[in-house]
Amino acid sequence: MLKGKVAVVSGAAQGLGKAFSHILLENGAQVAMLDVNEAVGQELQVQFNQQYGSDRTQFYKADVSSDQQFTEAFQKILSKFSRIDIFCNNAGIADEKHWEKTISINLTGMVKGTYLALDHMKKQNGGNGGVIINVASLAGLGPFPSAPVYTATKHGVVGFSRALAAASQMSGYGVRINALCPSFVRTALIDSFKQEDKTGQFHNMVSVTQSLLDKFPII
């Protein structure tokens, strides 16, 4: 179904990003994986190319909070694949103690990635259109008391995606923009909501987070 399409996935080395890459490859796309974890990313590239065929997957080290690294990664992808049809903006963390980093990755990085993809995709720039998927969370729909900054960033992902989707439709970009709000998934990020070095001053609210985990079972 996606044969001939090129997809880019950020935060691709583990968790949802790894799963998204797997599904895209299963459906015929070529996948460029971005992640700050180079060792795991390189291993995954080898694994996926063995599983799905040589040169179907390429890994690029990139910190989405770095303008230079993010831009250079997109340049390398375009140099190799010549096109981008799908961009999955998935990179994210949950760290209330170092909240500036959470904003930089979850919100600022998401906006940067969207604009990098949009510049290539939109028809006004000679692009062929495409799809941008911004990964939010249940925290984009309601509050996580132990993670207010994380909650704010995910609300930002939803609001930004809705507004930009309207702009794309009104302006004829030819780009579909969606926000995805998954339930709890068994990834390393889930553990962050319980760790004192991540929750910081809101660690006393961990029991509230646990009640949410109990209400919405981890998948």
**From 52, 60, 115, 150, active-site residue:** 150
Sheet with 175-180, side-by-side order of all strands: 57-61, 30-35, 6-10, 86-89, 130-135, 175-180
Residue 214 half-sphere exposure, CB side, CA atoms within 13 Å?
6
9, 90 in Cβ contact below 8 A? yes
Cα 134 → chain centroid: 6
Q: How far is CA 49 from CA 16, 119, 209, in A?
A: 19, 29, 38
Task: Report the sign of the C-alpha dihedral through residues 135, 138, 143, 148, in that order.
Answer: negative
The backbone region for 28, taken as left when phi is positive above 0, alpha when psi lies in -120 to 50, beta otherwise, is left
d(CA 126, CA 187): 38
Cα 20 → chain centroid: 10
**150 is known as an active-site residue:** yes
CA angle in degrees (0–180, nearest 5) for 69-192-57: 40
Active site members: 150
